[in-house]
Amino acid sequence: MPVTIKDVAKDTKLAVSTISKYMNGGNVRPENKVVIEEAVKRLGYRPNHLARGLRNSRSYIIGLLIPSLIGAHSGKMVAALEAQMRKTDCFLTICCYQDSVELAKEYVDFLVEKGVDGIIVSPIQTKENYLKSANDARIPVVILEDTYGIENCDVVQVDCASASYELVECLIKKGHKHIAIIKGIEGMTTSRERLNGYLRVMEDYELPINQEYLISGAYDYQSGYEGVQKLWRLEKKPTALFITNYHMSVGAMVAVRHLNIHIPEDLSIVAFDDMELSTITNCRITAVRQPMDEIMEQACEFIERRLNGDFRSYPDKKRIKAQIIYRTSVAQKEDFDE
């Protein structure tokens, strides 16, 4: 016979209502929580998610809509959300829309049909409302970073402008004046904020902005590679470079190797997105680390609030502070010739 909630109550000498409250995510006394968790492990109790869902009209499934699973950023996003799912005894369904609006629509319809409790979205660059079926079904939707004009959704964003400001400021404080940037995709909030952080700190320190140092990028390997190639063809080369996302950083570091550029002696580099590349190159890269665990915790908190009927300040937006990880990729400029 399978172990039931009554068996857990009998073993712990607690009320069935207390066990049920804990199993459904409610708050219980810390000492009771310890006793319940020990009994659950000892007895091998497994919650009946179907029965639980029928009782409160929930599926305990969260949908994640992302472009693809390729890349370190996507991997960290999934890992952080899975960790959050384990904390809340929920399950995760991942849908990769491959930068296709039509596929994104199909996946949203699929998630709606499955009756998911909420959908977390890494958005696609479009003005079309591919989330309409979820909105119509009153399924909570949380968008990460950029809404592209879509309304009726909560939003979780990293404060990219402040992080970029601090990152470039560390270059300036090391004596750098000729600082280049490889920008992101035009029209994206993250791209605009990261560029604005760069422009603002340059203005605050009264440093000239060389238009040749403003390199267009597309958040991909190729634009990072070509960006460094373009900068190194200039007669007046920059002494420092800010790369505004991980994929471009990968391309940039390959170009650095091909051009035999020494980091940080020839060129100091800082980057947005602190991934494995930052620590495995010959020179460890100073970078912005996005707090993915906090991002996903906030996204799930939004969904839980909406499911519980709390629509105060809806739609809401939460901006989260990023962290700068200082390493060895920035040289003190006085140590080298201008």
As its CATH architecture, domain 56-158+291-321 has 3-Layer(aba) Sandwich (3.40)
Identify the pLDDT of residue 151: 83
SS (H, E, C) the chain: CCCCHHHHHHHHCCCHHHHHHHHCCCCCCHHHHHHHHHHHHHHCCCCCHHHHHHHHCCCCEEEEEECCCCCHHHHHHHHHHHHHHHHHCCEEEEEECCCCHHHHHHHHHHHHHCCCCEEEECCCCCCCCCCHHHHHCCCCEEEECCCCCCCCCEEEEECHHHHHHHHHHHHHHCCCCCEEEECCCCCCHHHHHHHHHHHHHHHHCCCCCCHHHEECCCCCHHHHHHHHHHHHCCCCCCCEEEECCHHHHHHHHHHHHHCCCCCCCCCEEEEECCCCHHHHCCCCCEEEECCHHHHHHHHHHHHHHHHCCCCCCCCCEEEECCEEECCCCCCCHHHCCC
**pLDDT averaged over 10-residue windows placed end to end, the chain, 338 residues:** 81 85 78 89 72 62 93 89 89 95 95 94 89 92 90 93 97 97 93 97 97 96 98 97 95 95 96 75 88 96 92 93 94 67
CA gap 125, 99 in Å, rounded: 8
Identify the pLDDT of residue 23: 75
Q: In 10 A of CB 138, how many CB atoms?
A: 9
CATH number for the segment(s) 5-47:
1.10.260.40
User: Would the pTM count as exceeding 0.85?
Assistant: no
Identify the pLDDT of residue 336: 47
Asked if the domains 5-47 and 56-158+291-321 are classified in one and the same CATH topology, the answer is no
Identify the pLDDT of residue 54: 43
CA gap 157, 160 in Å, rounded: 8
Top-level class of domain 160-290+324-335: alpha beta
Domain boundaries, the chain: 5-47, 56-158+291-321, 160-290+324-335
Closest CA to 23 of 62, 58, 49: 49
Identify the pLDDT of residue 160: 96
